[in-house]
Each structure stands twice: as structure tokens, then as C-alpha cells.
Structure 1
């Protein structure tokens, strides 16, 4: 049976973060153990990506029946590109909350974890987000009751969060593992020539605070 993944795009999303999902799940759809359909959707008929070009999503979020999907994928974006206008809107976070209520996997990259947090699904749960010295995004995440973990990718129950565009591929593989199997993940890694990250990568902190 085909698995269906909703790729939820906010205006100002970062292309590399979306591409992690489209590439990994696209390869899995062609050469994996079962088919996976990715459907992109947003709140606008034309979306502006972080770096200026326009993208036409396959559907408007309001036109979709979310119960027909098996998982949700949410790329992050840049504040200066208007990302949070969509990403923290009621319609956007309601969609995220719906997937959680249905017990379905929700995967986010970078600051998209703030959308998950705003939807109320990270309260009391381990999660991460983009983090720099000063901790602005970390503090935002924690105001929603999330337990911040300084790791590249954090998996808690059916929720996947991460720290930046460089983690997008690994978030997508984590989602693929949840939807299919570890054997399928390893098969797609081999086909894509995508090596398994080292344990050092998986446990490294993002910011080493200066010692005074």
C-alpha cells in the first residue's frame, strides 16, 4: 500500500530542507520496498522560498483531508523571508496538531520545530531547533514547554526535530525508517551514495558556550 506524506510548506521555507524529504522519499518511492507519495501543500497558491524563487505547491492545505496521509514533513525557513507568518498561523499549527492527534509521525527541520511547539505537541517532550550563542530559538522552543536537547536530530515518540538544513537528509531517513524499515533505509542510502553519519556527528552539540 502506498504511504502518503504531506510536505507542509510555509512561505519563506528553505529549499534544501524541503529537498531532503523530496529526494529521500522520492528515491524510496522509485526503488524502495513500498511506494511513498509526497504531496506538497501550503497556505498560498504560490510560495516564495527563502532565497527568492517561487514554488507552486501541489495543493492548498485547506483542500486536503489530512486523515488520508500517513505522515507530515515540515521544512524550516528564514524569519527575514516571512517564514513565521505562515509557520505560526492558526491553520498551519492546527494541521500539525491534527497529525499528532491521529498518532502519525511528524518530522521537522531546523526552526520548523517552533511550529510543532506552537501546536502544543512538544510540551514535556525532548526536542531541538536551530541554536546559536544567545539561544533565541532555544528560548522560544522552551517557552512552549519543550525540553531542549542540543543534538543534530532528536527523535521523541513519533516526533522528529533537528537543528538546521544540514540535517534534512537525516530527518528524512528517520521518517522513512518510521514509515517502512531500517533495511529500506540502508537500501536507499546505498543507492543515493549517502553514508551513515558517525556517532560523533549524532551526538555533537551545536554551540560550545565560551567559558569565562
Structure 2
């Protein structure tokens, strides 16, 4: 099987549940089903603090990422009140997202992870979604970036996956796995994981 690589980018205040699904789903595919899927974690610093103060030591910092080495980037959401957007909206990260898109690589985001994708400009005039509760104010904000907001749990537009809350995290990870392997392979692994 062809080797594939994914980088999971962790801005400060990312949600651990939205981060861990990528590690687990792709890990099951690699360890139990022989898929050559490698995952690197990445942040602006070697240690990134999550929303609920769980520190994660990442494999690489943003300066070390060469887009050509990867097939996809995965972006968990996070809490604005803990500073998520300070790093999620950093121009260096937005440029990384633009590079992934320009090369037709997969961009998978969960919940508020759609915001840096939208701010980068790559979701303009494309379908996407984000957090749907709280009277839809987050979806309204996403529209301000020129996104055609769809009120659905997971929205795929070409190479970009967006979703609307933590509950959708496994769905996004399985969608990413499907895009990296096949619907058939993804279904086998999903079933093995009890979904």
C-alpha cells in the first residue's frame, strides 16, 4: 500500500477530543489493518496547551513542515476564550492552509477548525459548516468569509472537510480515512472500532 502522511495541526487551546480522533482512527488503520498511514503532530511551539490545560508535545513545529511530504492536514477546533484564534489566525498557519489547498491536498477540520480554513480564503464560494448551536452565530460568522454555509453535520467540498461540533469528530476522521484509502477500507475499520 502506498505511504500516506497526515499532519495534525494544533493551535493553542485546541480541543483534545477533536485532536485524538485523528490519532486513533488513522492509528487503527495503520496498526490493525496494515495501511501505511503516518501522522505527525504540529504546532507553533514544541508543547501546545489544549483548551482544558492538557499539554501535548508535538512532533514538529510549523517551520519544519514541508507541504510536499503530506497528503492531508487535519485541524481540530478550539475555544476562543482560551486564545484559539491567536494561533489559528496567524498568517504563517493561514499560508500553510493555502499551500495544502493549492496542491490539491486534503484539509480536514472539525467545528471551529473551519475558521482558519475560511480566513485563509480557500473556502470562499465553497460549501462548509461550523458550530451550529448558540442560535447559529458561528455559522453566521463563517458566512462573513464568503463560505456557502450548509447546516449539516459534515460537509465535504472537493478536498475540504468541515463539520459542526465535537460530536462530529469521529465522522470527520473516518471521512479523511476514506479519502486516503477507500470507502470499503474505511467501513471495515469503522466497524472494527464499534461505530
Residue 7 of structure 1: aligned partner = 8
Can you list the C-alpha shifts for 1:36-75, whole angstroms capped at 9, x where unaligned?
Answer: 0010001112111110121111110111211110111000
Residue 19 of structure 1: aligned partner = 20
Can you list the C-alpha shifts for 1:98-142, whole angstroms capped at 9, x where unaligned?
Answer: 100000111000001011000101111110001224432112211
Tell me whether 1:48 sits opposite 2:49 in the alignment.
yes
Residue aligned with 2:8, SS: strand
Residue 185 of structure 1: aligned partner = 186
Residue 205 of structure 1: aligned partner = none
Deviation (angstroms), 1:33: 5.2
Residue aligned with 1:29, SS: helix
Residue 173 of structure 1: aligned partner = 174
User: What TM-score results when the alignment is normalised by the length of structure 1?
Assistant: 0.89
Residue 112 of structure 2: aligned partner = 111
Deviation (angstroms), 1:168: 0.6
Preserved CA contact (<8 Å) 1:11 1:86: yes
Residue 151 of structure 2: aligned partner = 150
Residue 90 of structure 2: aligned partner = 89
Residue 201 of structure 1: aligned partner = none
Deviation (angstroms), 1:93: 1.0
Mark the structure with the bigger radius of gyration: 1
Residue 74 of structure 1: aligned partner = 75
Tell me the distance in 2 between the aligned counterparts of 1:42 and 1:170. 23
How large is the RMSD of aligned CA atoms in angstroms? Answer: 1.0
Tell me the distance in 2 between the aligned counterparts of 1:102 and 1:21. 21
User: What TM-score results when the alignment is normalised by the length of structure 2?
Assistant: 0.96
Tell me whether 1:129 sits opposite 2:130 in the alignment.
yes
Preserved CA contact (<8 Å) 1:122 1:145: yes
Tell me whether 1:98 sits opposite 2:68 in the alignment.
no
Tell me the distance in 2 between the aligned counterparts of 1:33 and 1:39. 18
Residue ranges of structure 2 left out of the alignment (5+ in a row): none
Residue aligned with 1:155, SS: strand
Tell me the distance in 1 between the aligned counterparts of 2:82 and 2:46. 17
Residue aligned with 2:73, SS: strand
Residue aligned with 1:72, SS: strand
Tell me the distance in 2 between the aligned counterparts of 1:26 and 1:57. 16
